[in-house]
C-alpha cells in the first residue's frame, strides 16, 4: 500500500479544503487522473493521481481541511508499477519535457572580428557629447589609441577652414595685402554708401582718374574728417591739411598703392604726369617703399577693369576709401522723362568710429558734384 500525502498546492500553503472527491474507495485510477477538487487560500485546484492502481482509502470527507503533508489517499499499486522517484528531500525542481534548444554552440571565441576603435574613456565621452564619429578621428596615442586631444583636434579642424599644407607662401605685396586686410577687417567698423555721378556733360577728354583725385580734394574741403588717420587703441584722430591719396594699381604680382602726396597742390596736367610716372614705376618695379607710405585717403578705380559697386576695405590708419565702378550709359528719369545719361557708380567706405554718417554723405555728395561739374 502506498500513501499519497497532500502536496503543497501553492507556494508554501499550509492546508487545503476538500471541495469534491472525483473518486471513491475501491476505484481504479491512472496516473494524472484527477482525484479531488481542493480549495486553497489561493484557488480551487484539481489534484492529479501520482500512481496507477486501486484506491484503498480516502483520508477525509468533503469540506474537511487537510494539512499539507498529511495522508490524503492510500493506493494499492498495480503489479510491476515502479515508483519513479525524482529524488530531493527538499525543494522542487522545475521539470519540463521541452527541448534544450541552444542553436550552434561555439567552443571558445567567435573567430570573426570587426576592427575595434581604441579610445580613452574620456575621448569617448567627449566624442559622444560633441556627436563625433570616432572612426574619422585620427589617433595619435600608443598602439593607435584615440586620446581626448585627438578628438579636440578634430573638433578644431572641422570648425575651421581646412589647413592649406601645400602650395606657396605669400610674400611681397600679396603678404602685405593679406596682413593689412586682416587687420582692417578685425579693427575697422566700416559703412559703405553708394551713389551715382552723372558725367554726361563732362568732356570726353577728361581723364576720370585725375578727375576723381581732384574731386577728392574738393570733397575733403567739405568733410575734412574723411582725410584723417585714426588709432582705435588710443582713440586718437589726426586730421590733415594736405591730401595724400593712395592710388590702387593692379598688377600680376599683386596690389600696389603708390601715394600721390599733396594732390591739392598739382594741376590736372601735373597730376596726369605724376600718375603716369607712378604707374610706370609700379610696372617696372622701380617704385620705392617710401612712395607707397603715408596716404591719408585711398582711391580704387576698379571700374577700369569691371564692376559697378563695391564695399572697398579701408587701409588703417586711414578712415575712408572711394571706389569707382565701370561707367556706363543708363536710362534715368530726369525732368519727368526717361533719358540716357552717362553714369559713374561710386562706393564710399568710411570708418564709423572716426567719421559720422552725415560727414560721409556730404563727402560723397561733394564728390558727385565735382564729377558732374556742378557745385555741392
* Residues of the shown chain interacting with another protein in the complex, contacts defined by CB under 8 A: 11-12, 85-103, 105-110, 113-114, 116-121, 124, 128, 145
Residue 100 sits at φ, ψ, to 5 deg, of -80, 100
Closer to another protein by Cβ: residue 131 or 160: 131
Q: How far is the CB of 125 from another protein (least distance, A)?
A: 9
Residue 328 sits at φ, ψ, to 5 deg, of -160, 165
Residue 16 in contact with residue 38, Cβ under 8 Å?
yes
Closer to another protein by Cβ: residue 50 or 365: 50
Distances in Å between the Cα of 176 and the Cα atoms of 190, 212, 297 are 20, 26, 18
- The tally of CA atoms less than 13 A away on the side-chain side of residue 80 is 0
Q: How far is the CB of 112 from another protein (least distance, A)?
A: 8
Q: How far is the CB of 124 from another protein (least distance, A)?
A: 7
What is the distance between the alpha carbons of residues 180 and 342, in angstroms, rounded to a whole number?
35
Q: How far is the CB of 15 from another protein (least distance, A)?
A: 17
Nearest to 137 by CA among 163, 116, 119: 119
Q: How far is the CB of 50 from another protein (least distance, A)?
A: 16
Closer to another protein by Cβ: residue 100 or 203: 100
Q: How far is the CB of 51 from another protein (least distance, A)?
A: 18
Closer to another protein by Cβ: residue 97 or 169: 97
Closer to another protein by Cβ: residue 113 or 337: 113
Q: How far is the CB of 8 from another protein (least distance, A)?
A: 9
3-state secondary structure of 133: coil
In degrees, to the nearest 5, what angle opens at C-alpha 26 toward C-alphas 25 and 29? 95
Is-cis flag, bond preceding 317, omega within 30? yes
Closer to another protein by Cβ: residue 142 or 336: 142
Residue 5 in contact with residue 47, Cβ under 8 Å?
no
What is the distance between the alpha carbons of residues 202 and 214, in angstroms, rounded to a whole number?
14
Please, is 17 exposed, middle or buried when counting C-beta atoms within 10 Å of its C-beta (0-12, 13-18, 19+)?
Answer: middle
Q: How far is the CB of 144 from another protein (least distance, A)?
A: 9
What is the distance between the alpha carbons of residues 88 and 91, in angstroms, rounded to a whole number?
7
Closer to another protein by Cβ: residue 142 or 162: 142
Closer to another protein by Cβ: residue 121 or 336: 121
Amino acid at each position: 500500500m502506498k500513501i499519497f500525502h497532500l502536496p503543497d498546492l501553492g507556494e508554501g500553503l499550509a492546508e487545503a479544503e476538500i471541495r469534491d472527491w472525483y473518486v471513491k474507495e475501491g476505484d481504479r485510477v491512472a496516473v494524472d487522473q484527477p482525484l479531488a477538487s481542493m480549495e486553497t487560500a489561493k484557488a480551487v485546484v484539481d489534484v492529479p493521481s501520482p500512481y496507477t492502481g486501486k484506491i484503498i482509502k480516502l483520508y477525509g470527507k468533503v469540506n474537511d481541511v487537510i494539512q499539507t503533508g498529511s495522508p490524503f489517499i492510500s493506493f494499492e499499486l498495480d503489479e510491476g508499477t515502479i515508483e519513479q522517484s525524482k529524488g530531493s528531500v527538499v525543494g522542487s525542481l522545475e521539470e519540463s519535457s521541452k527541448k534544450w534548444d541552444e542553436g550552434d554552440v561555439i567552443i571558445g571565441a567567435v573567430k570573426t572580428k570587426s576592427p575595434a576603435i581604441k579610445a580613452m574613456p574620456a575621448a569617448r565621452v567627449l566624442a559622444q557629447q560633441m556627436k563625433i564619429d570616432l572612426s574619422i578621428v585620427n589617433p595619435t596615442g600608443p598602439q593607435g589609441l584615440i586620446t581626448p586631444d585627438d578628438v579636440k583636434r578634430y573638433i578644431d579642424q572641422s570648425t575651421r577652414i581646412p589647413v592649406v599644407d601645400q602650395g606657396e607662401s605669400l610674400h611681397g605685396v600679396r603678404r602685405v595685402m593679406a596682413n593689412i586686410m586682416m587687420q582692417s577687417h578685425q579693427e575697422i567698423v566700416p559703412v559703405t554708401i553708394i551713389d551715382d555721378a552723372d558725367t554726361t556733360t563732362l568732356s570726353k577728354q577728361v581723364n576720370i582718374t585725375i578727375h576723381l583725385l581732384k574731386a577728392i580734394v574738393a570733397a575733403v574741403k567739405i568733410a575734412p574728417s574723411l582725410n584723417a588717420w585714426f588709432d582705435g587703441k588710443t582713440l586718437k584722430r589726426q586730421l590733415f591739411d594736405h591730401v595724400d591719396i593712395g592710388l590702387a594699381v593692379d598688377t600680376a604680382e599683386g596690389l600696389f598703392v603708390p601715394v600721390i602726396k599733396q594732390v591739392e597742390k598739382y594741376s590736372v596736367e601735373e597730376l596726369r604726369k605724376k600718375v603716369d610716372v607712378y604707374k610706370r614705376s609700379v610696372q617696372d618695379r622701380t617704385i620705392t617703399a617710401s612712395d607707397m607710405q603715408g596716404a591719408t585717403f585711398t582711391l580704387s578705380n576698379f571700374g577700369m577693369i569691371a564692376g559697378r559697386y563695391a564695399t572697398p576695405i579701408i587701409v588703417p590708419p586711414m578712415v575712408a576709401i572711394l571706389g569707382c565702378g565701370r561707367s556706363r550709359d543708363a536710362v534715368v528719369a530726369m525732368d519727368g522723362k526717361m533719358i540716357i545719361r552717362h553714369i559713374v557708380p561710386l562706393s564710399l567706405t568710411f570708418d564709423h568710429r572716426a567719421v559720422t554718417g552725415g560727414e560721409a554723405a556730404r563727402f560723397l555728395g561733394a564728390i558727385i558734384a565735382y564729377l558732374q561739374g556742378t557745385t555741392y
